[in-house]
Amino acid sequence: MTGMTTGGSADERFGALCAAVDPVARRFTADGQRLYLVGGVVRDVLLDRSGDHPDIDLTTDAPPDRIRSLLEGVVDAVWLQGEKFGTIGARRGDLTLEITTHRAEAYLSESRKPVVSFSTRLEDDLLRRDFTVNAMAVDVVDRSLHDPLGGQADLDARLLRTPLAPEESFSDDPLRMLRAARFLAGFGLVPATGLAEAARTVAERLRIVSAERIRDELWRLLALADPTVGLDFLDETRQLPLFLPEVSERPAPERAEVLRRTAAVDPVPEVRLAALLLDLSAPVLEERLRALRLSGGQRATVLGLTAAVGRIRASADDAWSDEAVRRLAASAGDHLTEAVALAATAGVATGVLAERLSGLRAEGELDDLGPALGGAAVIELLGLEPGPDVGAAVAWLADLRLREGRLGADEEGRRLVEWWERR
């Protein structure tokens, strides 16, 4: 503890949030319980970054079964998936509330799940949080700020500090080391003395954290406007080898270049991950994406981007004919714009390609790269029964579309009949 006071006078910066939660808080107060805004929502208000906050985290001295009872009749819906960890979810109007009993938690030995114990003391709950800037709470009823660990002062100093000794905090929940990278990059903070060294010392503890939790935290980092500081922190503290070993194993200059191009592309996690893993072979890339537990859609996006960049790299910039551009666009699908930008950040000349793309887009040539005629029209024109011949004819039309551009249905039909008679 820092010796700072744990409460203060009403702070009107929290007025709107407290008012939104007030009907719930009044129910708790009438029962002799307290309810506090806690964590990120408090931090963001103090940083004047509050936004709309449709999701609000709260903490209380009430046990989980009592929370559930007190919410009856004052919220629109309740969900109990997190009840064994002390969290009850609820919806009131447009607000989503997560109310958690004051608790302490830690990972033990090689367990991937935290051991949770409940408390009736707010200070116990704040002490077990990841960083002091997240260890502040506001009483919903009287709007007093509780900041026993000096989180507001750390915000003002732009300092990232753990409530406990950093080795203890990171060992208790190793994901905090990865989360530190996001906070350094996202809030412009600097690590407190010893924080980076502690992360480096206990980095191997990250192995007990599930791949899904690591993926989710990595996703949040990659979605930041500029993740450079965070990626550098992961590199310097030897966390990268634990979930992106192909990046960490590269020589330092190459690693620095990979991190540079990752920050240079759009802040879309799939695009950023493609930038990080751009130079991997397709089988190795596929294996890494599965190890990160990406969804099928996420894997498809990353693989599509890297494949498109590979095609761009394989062509000289002055060799982009209209047909070549159409074929690239057809293979890249929705990822074309991002793939061209990613190739450019990787040092590939894309000036002619970008010019040709602009021209074809202006002509509407890339709006629909499929043929005008479908399977039914092919069957009628050629007098076929459904089967492989129809598929072959449609594939020929698709290739014709990419070779020669958009043709009318009549012209496509004439060309198809001629081709069919010659084959």
Are residues 259 and 180 part of one domain? no
The boundaries of the domain holding residue 290 are 247-369
**Does 314 reside within a domain?**
yes
CA atoms 284, 290, 294, 299: torsion sign = positive
Are residues 220 and 256 part of one domain? no
Are residues 38 and 141 part of one domain? yes
Are residues 150 and 235 part of one domain? no
**Does 7 reside within a domain?**
no
Are residues 274 and 177 part of one domain? no
List the chain pLDDT tens, one digit each, 423 residues.
Answer: 444 445 666 677 888 889 999 999 999 999 999 999 999 999 999 998 866 566 899 999 999 999 999 999 999 999 998 888 889 999 998 889 999 999 876 565 666 566 677 888 999 999 989 999 999 999 999 999 999 999 999 999 999 999 999 999 999 899 999 999 999 999 999 999 999 999 999 999 999 999 999 999 999 999 999 999 999 999 999 999 999 999 999 999 999 999 999 999 999 999 999 999 999 999 999 999 999 999 999 999 999 999 999 999 999 888 899 999 999 999 888 889 999 999 999 999 999 999 999 999 998 888 889 898 889 999 999 898 899 999 999 999 999 999 999 888 999 999 999 999 888
Are residues 16 and 149 part of one domain? yes
Are residues 195 and 263 part of one domain? no
Where a domain ends, among 156, 172, 206? Answer: 156
**Does 3 reside within a domain?**
no
Where a domain ends, among 243, 265, 281? Answer: 243
Query: What CATH number should be reported for the domain holding residue 73?
Result: 3.30.460.10
Are residues 325 and 199 part of one domain? no
CA atoms 276, 296, 243, 167: torsion sign = positive
Total domain count, the chain: 4
pTM, rounded to two decimals: 0.85
pLDDT at 3: 40
Are residues 363 and 269 part of one domain? yes
Where a domain ends, among 221, 243, 265? Answer: 243
**Does 2 reside within a domain?**
no
Are residues 81 and 71 part of one domain? yes
